[in-house]
Amino acid sequence: MTIALGGLTSGLKVSIFLTSSGVDIVRRGAADMTHVKPLEPLAEMLRNFMARGGTLWACTPCVKSRGYTQENLLEGVVITGASAMHELIKRGAATLSF
């Protein structure tokens, strides 16, 4: 999240496509107890990211395989397939994956 927030601060449009267990982070309440000092708590960073215009996508098959629905996820998280990310790449978006 720190890299994504830094991108927003630099004026970049930032989207995060969560896959596999990454979708667990955006389940309501899941990030509430995650805090790695000296950083801000993860829940606060997620709220800040979305409030500043960042986009959080959750992989459809990954969400479904865990039995999650839209109601289980943080407000603003979009359940979508990889095609949303592919569209940005086709338009020239730079990607970073780790």
Question: CA-to-CA distance for 77 and 58, rounded, in angstroms?
Answer: 7
The four Cα atoms 42, 21, 78, 41 give a dihedral, to 10 degrees, of 0
- Domains by residue range for the chain, with CATH: 2-90 (3.40.1260.10)
Gap between the Cα atoms of 41 and 85, Å rounded: 27
What was the pLDDT predicted at 68? 98
Q: What is the pLDDT of residue 94?
A: 87
pLDDT digit string, tens, across residues 8-58: 999 999 999 999 999 999 999 999 988 999 999 999 999 999 999 999 999
- Radius of gyration over alpha carbons of the chain, in Å? 13
DSSP SS3 for 21: helix
Three-point CA angle 5, 91, 89, nearest 5°? 60
